[in-house]
Chain A
């Protein structure tokens, strides 16, 4: 079953705007990770947030985690055309070394 499910499935914004993507999951987690995939490429890790953390920043990225609601959000501020990609959340339950990926969000940033 899908552990992480992203919302929305697709997002189109203008360059300079902020992009917010959400992820919900079903079971308790050890950490939650966000990855980016450019067209025709492999996934690239963006940021990891542990279950005891509520917010984390990395450059223009801000991730929040609400374990009571079993949800996370990824905010990309001042978006650029180069941010156009698919974004995936992945959950690590800590029970094994596996990550469970959602189906991804397609972000289009219009120049």
Chain B
């Protein structure tokens, strides 16, 4: 398996623009997680899905952030409009549905909003 795939790996955009981050989880994994990592706040869970259904989006910072999972092999995290404080590394992770399982992380998308 290729592991969790994220695209793009790097994104530079200007304030106010829409940003879409993409994730392909490991085949057969039932859970998908979106995290944001910054020096100041560390690794924060934004939202997670189980069987394509959003379960907990309490970590989504503002209405400018939205996430979808239209099928088991694809998820997007959208920021509209983007702001400089959204600059961070965004990770997607997936895991199986069995209890006490580990998460498998993608390589991340490094976002810079100017």
Query: Footprint of B on A, CB under 8 Å?
Result: 2, 30-31, 33, 35, 41-45, 48, 50, 88, 92, 94, 96-104
Contacting A at CB under 8 A, from B21-58, are 31, 33, 42-43, 45, 48, 50, 55-56
CB neighbours (8 Å) of A41 from chain B are 107-108
Chain B residues contacting A97 (CB-CB under 8 Å) are 31, 48, 50, 55, 95
Q: Which 3 A-B pairs have the closest CB atoms?
A: A42-B105, A103-B42, A45-B102
B71 at interface by CB-CB < 8 Å: no
Which of B42, B56, B91, B93 contacts A104, CB < 8 Å?
B42
B100 touches A42 (CB 8 A): no
Partner of A50, one of B43, B48, B95, B100: B100
Chain A residues near B91 (CB-CB < 8 A): 42-43
Chain B residue nearest to A46 (CB atoms) is B102
Asked if B80 is at the interface (CB within 8 A of a chain A CB), the reply is: no
Interface of B is mostly: strand
Question: Residues of B at under 8 Å CB distance from A?
Answer: 4, 31, 33, 42-43, 45, 48, 50, 55-56, 91, 93, 95, 99-100, 102-108
Besides A97-B50, A104-B43, 12 other A-B contacts (C-beta < 8 A): A35-B105, A42-B4, A42-B107, A42-B108, A43-B103, A44-B105, A45-B103, A97-B31, A98-B33, A98-B45, A99-B103, A103-B43
Let me know if B100 and A30 touch, CB within 8 A. Answer: yes
Q: How far is the CA of A35 from the CA of B103 in the complex (A)?
A: 10
When the two chains form their complex, are residues B55 and A31 in contact, meaning their CB atoms are under 8 A apart? no
